[in-house]
């Protein structure tokens, strides 16, 4: 199968979930399937804005950013629901866990889309087969549709994934760019928003082909250094690698493991969760952060996968705290069937120094004992700098002495905290 892959280039997939918020609601409540559904911020107010909507609603002309009263005028039978961010976060974690079954090089770019580099995954089959398998697995396990673009770089993969929705798979090669991309309006190119399109129109650039052939001098004059980059993209050039660590402002840390055999023993599964919780705690300590949300992923013998999350009263980082929260989630949602894979993820991460702990009756006494020491440390940091006193774990990490955490799946970057709307992403 290796001959199906380029000898020098890369094979990149862009996986984009279709009408993500609406699709998650339909998966949660199947009675909504096939009906016009919209997710809106202020359901009770006529001026509430549509965040996203189902494809059934779009057939009536309902669009993202439209006001509720406009949408209901176009589609009187429109069903409107408030966003459920915990539900969307859990579905996103489950989706990225599936992607990591096919490649270690997975780069989330928002709650519902990410890039994959499958160049070294040739033992799993040809690229189209891998894309079809991913699409089917996400649909079978999470009941969520997605579109996938296959290309030699990230830009072309992103453009390809937008071409067939829902549940489409598109291959876009560099040699296809003149025929497929160049005739399109420049405003349809990823990375060009409304204002940039207006600036380009002012200098006679109306199509992607016009941009590809444009003189760099006026481009730089009107768009700065971004002009040269957009010209490269219009010619199908993009040298950016798929980098799981590309954003330092990560929002989650997790580990998952596939069990050597299907396990149905409760104590054995809780023991596995304890080991995963320890690994998550070590990584949180190394990064000097705490988690305000814990998620557990369970994959059953029949490969059905669920991810459930819980927002915590206080941010946590210790193994015992993580294991307790993960164990409670697991016992609440496990149906008793044999388990093939377990995962624990800490999300909504905060720097330890910035985390505000809500003291309760049980933690107050313990925290009060530490207060004099914490005040002394803080004074030393104010006088000599914040790195004058650090945890032994962080020093070992700087010296490269920390032990390797293992090869379990890591989910250490996403945008699950801010939940950008689909329209926001298209205007980037």
Query: Are 233 and 212 contacting, i.e. CB atoms less than 8 angstroms apart?
Result: no
CA distances from 99 to 14, 102, 104, 148 (A): 11, 6, 9, 12
CA distances from 359 to 88, 293, 375 (A): 29, 17, 17
DSSP state for residue 124 in the 8-state scheme: G
176 is in an annotated binding site: no
CA distances from 174 to 14, 50, 118 (A): 16, 36, 17
> Closest Cα partner for 104 from 244, 303, 249?
244
Strands of the 146-151 sheet, one edge to the other: 106-110, 113-117, 12-17, 146-151, 169-171
CA distances from 293 to 108, 288, 313, 324 (A): 18, 16, 9, 13
d(CA 296, CA 281): 15
Name the token pair of 209.
């082909």
Query: Are 146 and 24 contacting, i.e. CB atoms less than 8 angstroms apart?
Result: no
**β-bridge pairing 12-17 and 252-263:** unpaired
- Does residue 379 sit in helix, strand or coil? helix
Query: Are 61 and 76 contacting, i.e. CB atoms less than 8 angstroms apart?
Result: no
Structural Rg of the chain based on CA atoms: 24
Catalytic (active site) residue 3: no
Query: Are 244 and 117 contacting, i.e. CB atoms less than 8 angstroms apart?
Result: no
16 is in an annotated binding site: yes
Which of 25, 113, 278, 321 is labelled catalytic? 113
Which residue shows structure tokens 């814990």? 294
Annotated active-site positions, please?
113
Q: Which residues are annotated as a binding site?
A: 16, 112
Q: Which residues are annotated as a binding site for Mg(2+)?
A: 16, 112
């Amino acid at each position: 199968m290796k001959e199906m892959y380029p000898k020098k280039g890369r094979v990149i997939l862009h996986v984009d979930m279709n009408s993500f918020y609406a699709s998650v609601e339909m998966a949660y409540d199947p009675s909504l399937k096939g009906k016009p559904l919209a997710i809106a911020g202020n359901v009770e107010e006529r001026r509430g804005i549509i965040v996203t909507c189902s494809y059934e609603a779009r057939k009536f002309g309902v669009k993202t950013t439209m006001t509720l009263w406009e949408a209901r005028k176009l589609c009187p039978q429109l069903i409107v629901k408030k966003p459920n961010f915990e539900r969307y976060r859990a579905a996103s974690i489950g989706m990225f866990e599936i992607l990591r079954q096919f490649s270690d090089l997975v780069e989330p770019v928002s709650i519902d889309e990410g890039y994959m580099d499958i160049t070294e995954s040739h033992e799993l089959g040809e690229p189209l087969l891998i894309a079809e398998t991913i699409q089917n697995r996400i649909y079978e396990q999470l009941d969520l549709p997605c579109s996938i673009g296959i290309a030699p770089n990230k830009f072309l993969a992103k453009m390809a994934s937008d071409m067939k929705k829902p549940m489409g798979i598109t291959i876009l090669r560099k040699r296809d760019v003149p025929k497929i991309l160049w005739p399109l309006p420049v405003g349809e190119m990823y990375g060009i928003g409304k204002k940039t399109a207006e600036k380009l129109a002012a200098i006679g650039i109306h199509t992607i082909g016009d941009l590809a052939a444009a003189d760099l001098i006026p481009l730089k004059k009107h768009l700065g250094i971004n002009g040269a980059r957009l010209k490269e993209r219009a010619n199908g050039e993009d040298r950016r690698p798929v980098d799981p660590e590309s954003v330092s402002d990560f929002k989650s840390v997790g580990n998952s493991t596939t069990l050597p055999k299907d396990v149905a023993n409760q104590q054995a599964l809780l023991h596995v969760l304890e080991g995963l919780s320890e690994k998550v705690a070590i990584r949180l300590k190394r990064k000097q952060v705490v988690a305000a949300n814990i998620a557990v992923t369970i994959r059953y013998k029949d490969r059905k996968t669920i991810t459930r999350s819980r927002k915590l009263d206080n941010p946590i980082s210790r193994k015992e705290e993580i294991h307790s929260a993960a164990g409670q989630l697991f016992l609440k949602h496990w149906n008793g069937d044999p388990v093939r894979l377990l995962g624990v993820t800490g999300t909504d991460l905060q720097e330890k120094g910035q985390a505000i702990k809500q003291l309760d009756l049980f933690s107050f006494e313990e925290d009060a004992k530490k207060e004099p020491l914490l005040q002394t440390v803080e004074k030393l940091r104010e006088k000599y700098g914040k790195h004058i006193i650090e945890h032994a774990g962080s020093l070992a990490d700087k010296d490269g002495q920390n032990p390797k955490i293992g090869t379990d799946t890591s989910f250490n970057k996403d945008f699950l905290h801010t939940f950008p709307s689909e329209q926001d992403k298209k205007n980037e």
